[in-house]
A and B are shown apart, each in its own frame.
Chain A
Amino acid sequence: MQKKLNRKYFLFIVPAIFMVVAFKFFPIGNAFRLCLYDWDGFSPEMKFTGFENFKVLVKDQYFWKALKATLCYAFGITIVKNIVGLALGLFVNKEFKGRGAVRAIVYLPIMISGFIMGQIMYYFYQYDGGIFNELLGKLGIEPIYFMQTGNRTILVVILTTSILHIGSTMLTYLAGLQRIPNELKESCRLDGANKWNEFIHITLPLLQPSIISSVILNLIASFKIYDIIGAMGAGGPDGASSSLTQLISKYYFSQFRAGYGATIAFVFFFIIVVIAWPINKYLNSKKVEF
């Protein structure tokens, strides 16, 4: 009886398993298969080349540039978002009139596609006639060329993305803060601790679940950064700020190097797992119970 019932419940999971296998696991397998071919993505003939694509990849300067940029994006955005998000979370957790509105407005930019945001933000960072430089000019400061070097462009993208998408991180921390029992804070205050001590010894440790989920979710999401970069510096100079996602779609869809594009895609997935998985494990193992 019990067993039969279980099978019935299992049927409920079948569609989900099918979706995941068909559209997540199969593509990875297929991407790996394509790695072994020299293929343009459309012609019927596929030339088997074994691990030739991986050899090309090791020597491809654009791959290394994009890998570096992607790692910068992933960690940079995660760090900035968590610090600023925590600060904002603390802020909107305060009692003041209109804090609901502040929360809603800060969360608003997430509702708008990164592609559109990128298009708009371009006009902020323009060297000549851009909004920020116009403001600086009014203050009598020489214009800054925000996209001059690859590193600078990466920094600008990190800051922009973090600020625009800060809302979700803010809410994650807000949720964590709301969960902290007031008695704990009060007892701490009775012990004579100041605000800073209270934050370090009570708030931060108790926020750990929020920190874990926020860090890991932001890390995974930031690895996949794609649409906002397109308009902002377009991956320049010379591919120095292009993300791996951009590079893959460029190779696969624009340069007709499907086999090679799939190689990078596979390696990309592998890199995400290798980096994010241990972090996830480590952070989870440190979970405190309260």
Chain B
Amino acid sequence: MRKKKGFRVWILLVAVFVCFVAMWPLYELLNLSVRDISDYSSRLAFPEVIKLSNFKDAFMNKQVWIGFKNSFIYASLTILLEVVIGSMAGYGLSRGSKRTTKSIKSVQMLIMMVPGVVTLVGTYALMTKLGLTNSLFALALLTAAGGIPSCSFIYMNFINSIPVALDEAARIDGANVTNTFFRIILPQLTPITITRSIMIAIGAWNNYLMPLYLINNANKQPIILVIRSAFAMVGGDRNLAMACATCTIGILPVIVVYCILQKRIIASQIGSSIKG
């Protein structure tokens, strides 16, 4: 009994330590964002004078709201593209090809090895020529292309577990393949689609490299670029606290979504690593 108690203390200590390490950067972000520009005292302790007006100023910044709107559009478009194309491909692969999943996995692995910067460098000149820079749709296309291979693969695995008998029953009822997919199969995919969408949305929200070079019109900037210009410190007024406040507001939606859906996200991550 005593031994068990000691055991528990050990667990508690590790748990607290691990959580502390994970939360520390966020604490620091908050700490830095409530300071006055003239406050460069210890960054470890919470500032003595708390300046909440930084948040108010950041909230009033029109650019932040434009950023939210664009990030939202960008994330939605990416989800639409990736989920629709990915689930269709997953269905086609699962039902149509009798090839081993192994070769498909190899192709997927190869595609995963293409770094985003190669995609960017290889398509950038063409995109400027076609006037596709500053287009959230083009950005979503590029982002989705990176996710589609693994997305199709996950869907394929999932559809493999749906009995083919279901398709055949539908066909006997007179449904064609397209109808079977959209009416019968797609609804079955709902749970995986939801978690997949969340992950895609968060990925898009955080994507930095592609928007940085593809989006330069301020009215098309996703939130990450608004945060970036807050940190860029060009010009007369360089205010770290304001940059941190903008940043805090910028990541707030992600944190809120995560807090609400964390169980689902974690479960899906565990699930997908079993499948993969």
The residue from B117, B144, B209 contacting A265, defined by CB atoms under 8 A apart: B117
How far apart are A123's CB and chain B's nearest CB, in angstroms? 6
| Identity of the chain B residue whose Cβ is nearest the Cβ of A172 in the assembled complex | B273
- B:132-157 near A, CB below 8 Å: 141-142, 144-146, 148-149, 152
Interface footprint category on B: 35 or more
| Bound Cα distance from A81 to B7, whole angstroms | 26
Binds A, one of B51-59, B60-68, B119-127: B119-127
Do A265 and B121 touch (CB < 8 A)? Answer: yes
Binding site secondary structure of chain B:
helix
Per-residue CB proximity of B170-206 to A under 8 Å, as 1/0?
Answer: 0000001100010000000000000000000010011
How far apart are A243's CB and chain B's nearest CB, in angstroms? 10
**Residue B109 CB within 8 A of the other chain:** yes
Do A98 and B15 touch (CB < 8 A)? Answer: yes
The residue from A11, A19, A124, A174 contacting B148, defined by CB atoms under 8 A apart: A19
**Residue A193 CB within 8 A of the other chain:** no
| Identity of the chain A residue whose Cβ is nearest the Cβ of B91 in the assembled complex | A12
Q: Which residues on the B side are within 8 Å of A129 (C-beta)? A: 40, 43
How far apart are B118's CB and chain A's nearest CB, in angstroms? 5
- A:21-49 near B, CB below 8 Å: 22-24, 26-31, 34, 41-42
| Bound Cα distance from A114 to B147, whole angstroms | 18
Known contacts A111-B258, A252-B124, A261-B121: A12-B25 contact under CB 8 Å: no
Do A100 and B269 touch (CB < 8 A)? Answer: no
Do B121 and A171 touch (CB < 8 A)? Answer: no
Do B271 and A113 touch (CB < 8 A)? Answer: no
Known contacts A112-B251, A116-B251, A123-B28: A23-B141 contact under CB 8 Å: yes
| Bound Cα distance from A107 to B124, whole angstroms | 34
Do B270 and A175 touch (CB < 8 A)? Answer: yes
**Residue B263 CB within 8 A of the other chain:** yes
| Bound Cα distance from A58 to B276, whole angstroms | 39
**Residue B162 CB within 8 A of the other chain:** no
Q: Which residues on the B side are within 8 Å of A20 (C-beta)? A: 111, 145, 148-149
Interface centre among A24, A99, A100, A124 (most CB of B within 10 A): A24
Do B122 and A9 touch (CB < 8 A)? Answer: no
* Besides the known contacts A27-B123, A96-B8, A227-B209, 20 further A-B residue pairs in the complex with CB atoms under 8 A apart: A10-B96, A12-B92, A17-B89, A19-B141, A23-B142, A28-B114, A30-B123, A91-B18, A96-B15, A105-B19, A109-B25, A112-B251, A113-B205, A123-B43, A220-B113, A224-B116, A253-B213, A262-B122, A268-B115, A269-B114
Q: Interface of A with B (CB < 8 Å)? A: 5-6, 8-13, 15-17, 19-20, 22-24, 26-31, 34, 41-42, 88, 91, 94, 96, 98-109, 111-117, 119-121, 123-124, 129-131, 134-135, 163-164, 167-168, 171-172, 174-176, 178-179, 210, 213, 216, 220, 223-224, 226-227, 231, 245, 248-249, 252-253, 258, 261-262, 265-266, 268-269, 272-273, 276-277, 280
Q: Interface of B with A (CB < 8 Å)? A: 8, 11, 14-15, 18-19, 21-23, 25-26, 28-29, 32, 40, 42-44, 81, 84-86, 88-89, 91-93, 95-97, 109-126, 128, 141-142, 144-146, 148-149, 152, 176-177, 181, 202, 205-209, 213, 224, 227-228, 231, 243, 247, 250-251, 254-255, 258, 262-263, 265-266, 269-271, 273-274, 276
